[in-house]
Structure 1
Amino acid sequence: MTKRARRRPALPRALPSVRPPSFGGRLHDARTATAVGRWLGAAFAVCFVTGLISHYLQHPPGWLANGLPGRPVWGYRLTQGLHVASGLAAIVLLLAKLWAVYPRLFVWPPVRSVRHALERLSVAVLVATAVFQVFTGLLNIVEWYPWPFPFVQTHFAVAWVVAGSILLHVAVKAREIRAHWSRRSAGTLALPAEDAPDRRALLLGVGAAVGAVTLTTVGQAFTPLKRLDLLAPRHPDIGPQGLPVNRTVAAAGVTQAALRDWRLEVAGPHPYTLTLDQLRALPQTHARLPISCVEGWSVEARWAGVPVRDLVARAGGRPGCGVRVVSLEVAGAYRVMEMGAEYVRDPLTLLALTLNGQVLEPDHGYPARIIAPNRPGVLQTKWVTRLEVL
């Protein structure tokens, strides 16, 4: 018998060399990135400043609580409308900016020096926080919270990280930004001339997309455009008594028995209690004031009720005092609200009993709610049952 020939062990195949992907498309260049970046930077700047105003109106530090102004009465309506509008515009601009620069994510080698590594790390932080900020903000305006962390505190903290990352990025890229800032800058002249028409078309398309998003959402705050309010989560005319409702009486856990037995307690040096009929018998003030929600919608309405300063004065409250407002609401982040001295002394800060000439609907806070000028909607407490002079 012949011996079988032994098979030689197969040699391992050589692995294919790893090469970074190549990008043949045009407009992934510094000029396009700079042009879009200017708009994006402006949108983030407006969003950041108006976001600070919104946060400190909702959660003022102790030194500021008694000095928050009630004028102009439409102040919060304007700033929060701009906040949401600029945030929605930033989503479109951020996607365009990432499209312009994403080939740089695949540069090879990925790290060339310590400075390059730090630069890439700062860009990674900027991109991650910017994406997180705009998309969590988008989910907030539709009131969907699929995360375990508190939105307000997290959104506020990350806003500072985004702002710092943008400033750092601008400082690092200042020379390149300056070279491509205008059409006639030195850096732009080195780019292919045939790209200019396509770049203009791209920028016009991005601008049109921003305009379309703005026109179809800003009507929830800027009511002259309410007929174009197609993509916004709220329409300013839809809801009981012509106003939207975020939190209904059922969601708040306010029962019919609680409303039937309602009394207003005013705690102070001279405490007292009022029934609804007694409250209606007091001198009433009429005011036309907007109610503006943090989600971006706002609408002006006619309110009537008793000035809070009159109720506080009757309880012996001193000039310059604040007020703690307690709701019938069973639980909630704003069940108890504190109001600073400027709001308390304002003649337009009302414990409102009627809306647009009608008794308040339960979903709007029957039998009594707070309405104050230049104040976030979450602090316009509904189903008020107690005022405490501070």
Structure 2
Amino acid sequence: MKLRALSPAFKGRLHDARTATSIGRWLGAAFAVCFATGLVSHVMQHPPGWLADSIPSRPSWGYRLTQGLHVASGIAAIPLLLAKLWAVYPRLFAWPPLRSVKHGLERLSIAVLVGGSVFELATGLLNTAQWYPWPFSFVAVHYAVGWLVVGALLLHLAVKAPEIREHWTRRSPGTLALPALDGPDRRSFLAAVGAGVGAVTLTTVGQSFTPLKDFLLFAPRHPDQGPQGLPVNRTAAAAGVGRVTAEDYRLVVTGPQPYTLTLDELRALPQHEVELSIACVEGWSKSARWTGVRVADLLARAAAPAHARVRVESLEPSGGYRVSELGREHATDPLTLLALRLNGEELHPDHGYPARLIAPNRPGVLQTKWVGRLEVLA
């Protein structure tokens, strides 16, 4: 009895199952979108060998849409998670803390769910700003913890299914047991939460949905800011790429009939202009006009087989993405260019001068800059 008297007493209203279920519906939807689009992003960045040639190059705006949704839903989930935790946190102080083995396992799953969710949203938010104050690989750990959170969430839903069903709608029988006076306050609280979600979405989503770019307040990137009106994640100086002159530059293309081209020879080849977006994993994206030589034409000159993959190597001396691979779908797509110009101007060094890859439906980190070699793979 003395121990029970020492436990905190919560007299605030709305810390109830009905409020938690109402917020949980929105939070579950945000998590589902975030997880599904995160899987798309991970597979497109790190496709297993058996899938590499099947990654589609169309629609050309596909990755821009899915990654924009991934970041937007993740940011929207932050106020939803805080509201959900506010609604349920008094239960953390329920006494006794462990009533049975089943109850202990339930609380353990909730601890994993809450801890993993906070970790995913916090690290994802810091990734949008490219700030990594931790010693581990963000991509690998973020991906692994995402699966952990989904597993804990499914277990939580299974355990709480009867309670969720009881409070799912206004007409659910369980709502009759709740104080009638809580109704207006609950609606006001949920309206405030909805307004918060709308506010953070409106002030950040413009980095990928450019019609709303004038409302950007908190996004770390503005789609119009950067050399030639396009943002840059990694500058030439940061990549360690020295000054590359037209006289010194050579593009090496390997294959059954290998050859080398100077920059002037590249410029003399048939040039094509396409409009494609750069869509980065941090959530920003913008369309631009790119002019250059079709990669398919360069491969045909090297007598590359129709089914061949292509390894694209950068002049960048080191880095996790200095090499990327083009699967068959991307390598043969007429929109895939070795670009020499951006919006009618010669590429800025930070955008990959003298030549960079631009391909449809492809993560920005794989749009290799400062390309010096195309290697045809069997």
Quote the Cα distance in structure 1 between the aligned partners of 2:110 and 2:246. 55
Paired residue for 2:341? 354
Compared with structure 1, are the counterparts of its residues 122 and 256 closer, same or farther at alpha carbon in structure 2 (3 Å cutoff)?
same
- What SS does structure 2 have at the residue aligned with 1:256? coil
8 Å CA contact 2:272, 2:293 repeated in 1: yes
1:167 maps to 2:128: no
Q: CA RMSD in A?
A: 1.2
1:147 maps to 2:138: no
Paired residue for 1:385? 372
Quote the Cα distance in structure 1 between the aligned partners of 2:231 and 2:325. 24
8 Å CA contact 2:281, 2:365 repeated in 1: yes
Give the count of matched residue pairs: 376
Paired residue for 1:69? 56
When the two structures are superposed, what TM-score results if normalisation uses the length of structure 2? 0.98
8 Å CA contact 2:244, 2:354 repeated in 1: no
- What SS does structure 1 have at the residue aligned with 2:274? strand
Paired residue for 1:270? 257
Paired residue for 1:44? 31
When the two structures are superposed, what TM-score results if normalisation uses the length of structure 1? 0.95
Structure 1 runs not aligned, ≥5 long: 1-14
- 1:313 counterpart (300, 303, 306): 300
Cα deviation, residue 256, structure 1 = 1.2
Compared with structure 1, are the counterparts of its residues 259 and 134 closer, same or farther at alpha carbon in structure 2 (3 Å cutoff)?
farther
More displaced stretch, 275-284 vs 252-261: 252-261
1:259-286 Cα shifts (integer Å, max 9, x gaps): 7521100011111110000000001111
- Structure 1 ranges of 4+ moved more than 6 A: 15-18
Structure 2 runs not aligned, ≥5 long: none
Quote the Cα distance in structure 1 between the aligned partners of 2:67 and 2:141. 18
1:230 maps to 2:217: yes
Q: Which amino acid aligns with 1:191?
A: L
- What SS does structure 1 have at the residue aligned with 2:239? coil
8 Å CA contact 2:63, 2:363 repeated in 1: yes
1:22 maps to 2:9: yes
Quote the Cα distance in structure 2 between the aligned partners of 1:279 and 1:230. 42
Compared with structure 1, are the counterparts of its residues 312 and 188 closer, same or farther at alpha carbon in structure 2 (3 Å cutoff)?
same
Q: Name the larger-Rg structure.
A: 1
1:191 maps to 2:178: yes
1:183-229 Cα shifts (integer Å, max 9, x gaps): 11011111000001010000000000000000000000001101001
1:107 maps to 2:89: no
Quote the Cα distance in structure 2 between the aligned partners of 1:340 and 1:300. 23
- 1:78 counterpart (39, 54, 65): 65
Paired residue for 1:31? 18
Cα deviation, residue 43, structure 1 = 0.1
1:335 maps to 2:322: yes
- 1:130 counterpart (117, 132, 151): 117
Cα deviation, residue 17, structure 1 = 8.0
Cα deviation, residue 330, structure 1 = 1.5
1:298-336 Cα shifts (integer Å, max 9, x gaps): 000000110101111111101011100000112110001
Compared with structure 1, are the counterparts of its residues 16 and 299 closer, same or farther at alpha carbon in structure 2 (3 Å cutoff)?
closer
- 1:299 counterpart (259, 274, 286): 286
Cα deviation, residue 230, structure 1 = 1.2
- What SS does structure 2 have at the residue aligned with 1:237? coil
Q: Which amino acid aligns with 1:355?
A: L
Quote the Cα distance in structure 2 between the aligned partners of 1:301 and 1:205. 38
8 Å CA contact 2:246, 2:264 repeated in 1: no
- What SS does structure 1 have at the residue aligned with 2:221? coil
Cα deviation, residue 355, structure 1 = 0.4
Cα deviation, residue 366, structure 1 = 0.3
- 2:205 counterpart (203, 208, 218): 218
Quote the Cα distance in structure 1 between the aligned partners of 2:5 and 2:91. 17
Q: Which amino acid aligns with 1:21?
A: P
- What SS does structure 2 have at the residue aligned with 1:266? strand
Q: Which amino acid aligns with 1:93?
A: L
- What SS does structure 2 have at the residue aligned with 1:251? helix
Paired residue for 1:242? 229
